[in-house]
């Protein structure tokens, strides 16, 4: 069933005669059900022309004293009763020349003056197949997809011009047409293409899918269509660091909402001129949203930083915890890059023992995303077999939201440490026993000198929940501490030139320093423990 009614005829004829394609005519006539848009273009055009035959005869008969052979170019430019160039939007582009003869340009397609070909050849199965070939060649693993398109911003200008034309014509019949009454180009495009993509790739289109296929269109021939708007609405076009052009779709829409109708008509033709060529496809991009892997790591080396240690462009140590884990994940997930995060960090000379430290790795644009629990277990084993400096446990796929549990623990949870302490004065066992009785000691820590280059200067209050001592000899003892997360343990021992108060040295009334430090536990219940 043809979607247009008698009351649409006049507007449909006007648009068709000025170079608008059938699908755009449907949009301007408010056809908001999918089926008509999905029909083949040639079929739509033939049916539209049949539907409009009587209207065309009426329009032509309205022309006073029609010339038998010649139609002057001036009359064509001025437009005769809404027929601006009398070119039929058919298989070929038809123009009437000065001598009355008919010439055909571009025998394949008369390019729509509103959508610039988007709702013509870029909706057909042939084009969808080309996009799908690119998707299949990209090597991504996916079970559904989201399809997005980026149209040239000048399409908004052309649509505005066509709207003003139709609005004026409908006004003559005491009818109105609001901007929101027009079906959006992007909506119509998706109605047509989504089923074709699903059929070709054999997967559903899902707006929540992490796998995105995007097509970016351009139309160099009409790129200057937007430029007059900048002179009239300069505030709408401000340069942005990440944008190559100020003429973004949002900026153009903002200007179109501000400009007066009469100012627009003075600067831009209504209806818009017909272009010579359809849009070009700048890019077909495939991308997968990040996936997240979490676990806990133990670090057994006192010569291994958590992240690559690079100073002034020079690498200080050959590897890091981050790299020993991430290199394997990058290879298996076939990801482009990664971001490593953890619940706190230890210094290069500090070991992390016990159940280990929680960590998460964001894998950017992974090509492989589906793994069985057995495959993840084997990946964990591969990481553990590759180095004796670290071990990983509880390796698992997690959501972005779940990582928040790890970050909460950085400040709110407790951590346990063991340290080997040196004192400048000789000590007896009884000299350190008083430390065992101190509970929930509040200390003030000014940002340590050693991290001042990467942390803001501030005084942070932290709590030492408990301490336990074990005497070694007259200058050494072991100290076991349970503290608030975020406490600088080394500075609590030696005082950092008075920047941490009180400290072990001040409590003992002597100089104390730390020789070895181990993280015994990070009390964050995440990620969930797995039965290995």
Nearest to 359 by CA among 308, 325, 320, 387: 325
Residue 476 has pLDDT above 80, yes or no: yes
Residue 395 has pLDDT above 80, yes or no: yes
CB atoms within 10 A of CB 53: 9
Residue 504 has pLDDT above 60, yes or no: yes
3-state secondary structure of 270: coil
Does CATH number 3.30.70.3190 belong to domain 414-522? yes
Pairwise pLDDT comparison (410 vs 225), residue with the higher score: 225
Task: Look up tokens 């003075």; give the residue.
Answer: 266
Strands, E, within 68-142: which ranges? 93-96, 102-105
Q: In the predicted model, what is the mean pLDDT of the chain? A: 88
Task: Look up tokens 């992240």; give the residue.
Answer: 307
**Which pLDDT value is given to residue 406?**
82
Residue 121 has pLDDT above 70, yes or no: yes
**Which pLDDT value is given to residue 64?**
43
Tell me if the bond preceding 527 is cis, omega within 30° of 0.
yes
Residue 53 has pLDDT above 50, yes or no: yes
Cα angle 262, 267, 269 (rounded to 5 degrees) comes to 90
Q: 140-164 pLDDT, tens per residue? A: 999 999 999 999 999 999 999 999 9
Pairwise pLDDT comparison (62 vs 297), residue with the higher score: 297
Q: 1-11 pLDDT, tens per residue? A: 789 999 899 99
> Is this structure's pTM higher than 0.75?
yes
How far apart are the C-alpha atoms of 436 and 492, rounded to whole Å?
Answer: 16
- Model confidence at 532, in pLDDT bands (50, 70, 90)? low
231, containing H or E segment = helix 227-232
Cβ atoms of 41 and 90 closer than 8 Å: no
Q: Are strands 314-315 and 146-150 parallel, antiparallel or unpaired?
A: unpaired
C-alpha 449 chain-centroid distance: 39
Residue 176 has pLDDT above 70, yes or no: yes
How far apart are the C-alpha atoms of 470 and 482, rounded to whole Å?
Answer: 15
Kindly give, in sequence order, each residue whose CB lies less than 8 Å from that of residue 301, ignoring residues fewer than 6 positions away.
351, 389, 390
Does this chain's domain 291-411 share its CATH topology with 414-522?
yes
Q: 61-118 pLDDT, tens per residue? A: 444 444 443 333 333 334 333 333 333 343 333 332 333 322 233 335 699 999 999 9
Contacts of 435-439 with C-beta under 8 Å, sequence gap 24+, read 435/467, 435/468, 435/469, 435/479, 435/504, 435/507, 435/508, 436/467, 436/468, 436/469, 438/464, 438/466, 438/467, 438/507, 439/465, 439/466
Domain boundaries, the chain: 6-54+110-225+268-287, 291-411, 414-522
How far apart are the C-alpha atoms of 189 and 120, rounded to whole Å?
Answer: 10
Q: 339-393 pLDDT, tens per residue? A: 999 998 999 999 999 999 999 999 999 999 999 999 999 999 999 999 999 999 9
Biggest alpha carbon distance in the chain? 122
Kindly give, in sequence order, each residue whose CB lies less than 8 Å from that of residue 19, ignoring residues fewer than 6 positions away.
85, 87, 89, 110, 111, 112, 113, 271, 273, 274
How far apart are the C-alpha atoms of 374 and 377, rounded to whole Å?
Answer: 5
Residue 227 has pLDDT above 60, yes or no: yes
Mean pLDDT of 409-414: 73
Give whole-number Cα distances, 232 to 228, 236, 257, in Å.
7, 9, 12
Number of C-alpha atoms within 13 angstroms, CB side, residue 354?
16
**Which pLDDT value is given to residue 527?**
94
Instruction: Lowest mean pLDDT of 97-106, 202-211, 450-459, 484-493, name the range.
Output: 97-106
Number of C-alpha atoms within 13 angstroms, CB side, residue 338?
26
Q: Is 236 exposed, middle or buried (0-12, 13-18, 19+ CB in 10 A)?
A: buried
Angle, helices 249-258/154-171, rounded to nearest 10 degrees: 30
**Which pLDDT value is given to residue 240?**
74
Of the residues 347, 349, 513, 523, which is catalytic? 347
**Which pLDDT value is given to residue 307?**
94
How far apart are the C-alpha atoms of 519 and 444, rounded to whole Å?
Answer: 21
Active site residue 206: no
Instruction: Write out the DSSP string of 433-460.
Output: GGGGG-EEEEEEEE--GGGTTTS---EE
Task: Look up tokens 């492989």; give the residue.
Answer: 368
Its CATH architecture, for the domain 291-411, is 2-Layer Sandwich (3.30)
How far apart are the C-alpha atoms of 359 and 344, rounded to whole Å?
Answer: 9
How far apart are the C-alpha atoms of 487 and 507, rounded to whole Å?
Answer: 17
């Amino acid at each position: 069933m043809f979607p247009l009614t008698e009351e649409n005829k006049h507007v449909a004829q006007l648009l068709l005669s000025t170079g608008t394609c059938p699908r755009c005519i449907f949009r301007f006539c408010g056809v908001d059900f999918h089926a008509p848009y999905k029909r083949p273009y040639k079929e739509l055009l033939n049916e539209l022309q049949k539907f409009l035959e009587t209207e065309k005869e009426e329009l032509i008969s309205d022309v006073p004293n029609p010339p038998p052979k010649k139609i002057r170019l001036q009359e064509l430019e001025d437009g005769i009763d809404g027929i601006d160039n009398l070119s039929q939007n058919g298989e070929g582009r038809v123009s009437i020349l000065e001598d009355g003869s008919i010439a055909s340009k571009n025998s394949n397609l008369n390019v729509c003056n509103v959508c610039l070909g988007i709702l013509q050849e870029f909706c057909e199965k042939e084009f969808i197949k080309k996009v799908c070939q690119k998707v299949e060649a990209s090597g991504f693993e996916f079970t559904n997809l989201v399809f997005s398109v980026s149209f040239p911003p000048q399409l908004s200008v052309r649509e505005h011009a066509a709207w003003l034309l139709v609005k004026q014509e409908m006004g003559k019949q005491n009818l109105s047409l609001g901007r929101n009454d027009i079906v959006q180009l992007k909506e119509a495009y998706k109605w047509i293409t989504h089923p074709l993509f699903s059929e070709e790739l054999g997967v559903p289109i899902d707006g929540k899918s992490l796998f995105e296929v995007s097509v970016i269109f351009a139309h160099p021939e009409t790129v200057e269509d937007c430029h007059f708007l900048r002179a009239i609405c300069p505030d709408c076009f401000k340069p942005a660091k990440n944008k190559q052009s100020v003429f973004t779709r949002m900026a153009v829409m903002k200007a179109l909402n501000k400009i007066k109708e009469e100012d627009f008509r003075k600067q831009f033709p209504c209806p818009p001129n017909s272009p010579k060529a359809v849009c070009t496809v700048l890019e077909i991009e495939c991308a997968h949203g990040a996936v997240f892997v979490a676990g806990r790591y133990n670090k057994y080396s006192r010569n291994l930083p958590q992240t690559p240690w690079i100073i002034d462009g020079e690498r200080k140590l050959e590897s890091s915890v981050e790299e020993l884990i991430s290199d394997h994940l990058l290879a298996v997930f076939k990801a482009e890059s990664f971001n490593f995060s953890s619940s706190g960090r230890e210094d290069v000379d500090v070991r992390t023992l016990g159940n280990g430290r929680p960590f998460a790795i964001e894998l950017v644009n992974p090509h492989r995303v589906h793994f069985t629990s057995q495959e993840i277990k084997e990946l964990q084993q591969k990481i553990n077999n590759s180095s004796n400096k670290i071990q990983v446990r509880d390796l698992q796929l997690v959501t972005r939201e779940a990582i928040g549990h790890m970050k909460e623990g950085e400040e709110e949870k407790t951590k346990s440490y063991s340290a080997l302490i040196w004192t400048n004065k000789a000590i007896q066992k009884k000299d350190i026993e008083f430390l065992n009785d101190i509970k929930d000691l509040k200390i003030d820590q000014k940002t340590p000198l050693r991290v001042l280059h990467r942390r803001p200067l501030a005084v942070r209050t932290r709590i030492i929940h408990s301490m336990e001592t074990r005497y070694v000899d007259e200058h050494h003892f072991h100290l076991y501490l349970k503290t608030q997360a975020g406490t600088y343990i080394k500075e609590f021992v030696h005082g950092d030139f008075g920047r941490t108060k009180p400290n072990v040295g001040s409590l003992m009334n002597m100089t104390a320093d730390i020789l070895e430090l181990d993280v015994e536990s990070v009390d964050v219940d995440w990620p969930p423990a797995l039965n290995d």
